[in-house]
């Protein structure tokens, strides 16, 4: 290796070591299906849908399928974490893209940030998953500190609201690093806003939590930022931002245009 090539390699390795999250690939969550021959003797179609209109598409599943991968959910700013529903139906000869006939069976589950895969089990008249339908936490994933136009004051903004039912909600907002992606620094600021008013602001070492009671008829804003944090301790890397409601009625966390993946 010549001198210039050696210098370039040292520089590249040093860059990756300094910013390990840049080198990490997006996470994908595989979906698998099992359909034992003794549980059915005809091909059925399976389709699952989740947050942000994510869909697996209509998939033909033959008897004998054993932990067969049929979909992969990419983890990006339009997060797959949240409520999912899957259905099975008989194939349609007209080439439908969704179940056009009667739904034979349906199952629901809640995908959480610690889940690494989804396993669906089907028979000729039933459908189940290995994940629980109980879920009161919605999670988004993004990266702080990779906006080169504002390297010293990166800010990510999200919004969320509740379902139509009136009443107050006890909510916990959590900001924590993504341990699979790596990061530098440890401090960030988490802000919860109600319209133009700040409900609470916390600057601390991750993980950070805010717990409060909110009215169900408002739209709320979450801000994750680095402002006024010394460069040596400023968090830079991928993170999870979660909202937990005591009634589990938050559909999704919506990223604004300033949120980077």
User: Could you read off the pLDDT of 143-159 as tens digits, one per residue?
Assistant: 998 655 555 568 999 99
Q: Domains along the chain?
A: 28-129 (2.60.40), 137-255 (2.60.120.380)
Residue 193 has pLDDT above 80, yes or no: yes
What's the pTM value of the predicted model, to 2 decimals? 0.77
User: Could you read off the pLDDT of 28-79 as tens digits, one per residue?
Assistant: 999 999 999 999 899 999 999 999 999 999 999 999 999 999 999 999 888 8
Residue 24 has pLDDT above 60, yes or no: no
3-state secondary structure the chain: CCHHHHHHHHHHHHHHHHCHHHHCCCCEEEEEEEECHHHCCCCEEEEEEEHHHEECCCEEECCCEEEEEEEEEECCCCCCCEEEEEEEECCCCCCCCCCCCCCCEEEEEEECCCCCCEEEEECCCCEEECCCCCCCEEEEEEEECCCCCCCCCCEEEEEEECCCCCCEEEEEEEEEECCCCCEECCEEEEEEEECCEEEEEEEEECCEEEEEEEECCCEEEEEEECCCCCCCCECEEEEEEEEEECCCCCCCCEECCCCEC
Pairing of strands 137-144, 236-245: antiparallel
**Alpha carbons 200 and 211: distance in angstroms, whole number:** 9
Mean pLDDT of the chain, nearest integer: 84
């Amino acid at each position: 290796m010549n001198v210039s090539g050696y210098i370039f390699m040292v520089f590249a390795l040093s860059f990756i070591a300094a910013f390990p999250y840049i080198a990490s690939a997006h996470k994908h969550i595989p979906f698998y299906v099992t359909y034992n021959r003794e549980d059915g003797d005809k091909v059925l179609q399976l389709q699952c849908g989740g947050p942000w209109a994510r869909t697996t598409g209509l998939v033909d599943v033959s008897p004998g399928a054993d932990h067969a991968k049929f979909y992969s959910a990419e983890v990006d700013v339009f997060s797959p974490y949240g409520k999912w529903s899957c259905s099975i139906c008989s194939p349609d000869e007209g080439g439908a893209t969704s179940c056009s006939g009667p739904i034979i069976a349906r199952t629901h589950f809640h995908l959480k940030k610690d889940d690494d895969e989804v396993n669906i089990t089907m028979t000729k008249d039933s459908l189940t998953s290995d994940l629980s339908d109980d879920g009161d936490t919605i999670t988004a994933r993004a990266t702080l500190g990779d906006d080169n136009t504002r390297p010293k004051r990166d800010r990510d903004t999200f919004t969320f609201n509740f379902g139509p039912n009136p009443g107050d909600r006890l909510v916990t907002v959590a900001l924590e690093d993504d341990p699979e992606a790596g990061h530098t620094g440890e401090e960030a600021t988490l802000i919860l806003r109600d319209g133009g008013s700040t409900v609470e602001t916390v600057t601390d070492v991750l993980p950070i939590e805010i717990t409060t009671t909110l009215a169900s008829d408002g739209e709320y804003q979450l801000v994750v930022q680095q402002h006024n944090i010394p460069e040596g301790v400023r968090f830079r890397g991928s993170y999870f931002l979660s909202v937990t409601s005591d009634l589990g009625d938050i559909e999704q966390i919506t990223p604004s245009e300033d949120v980077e993946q």
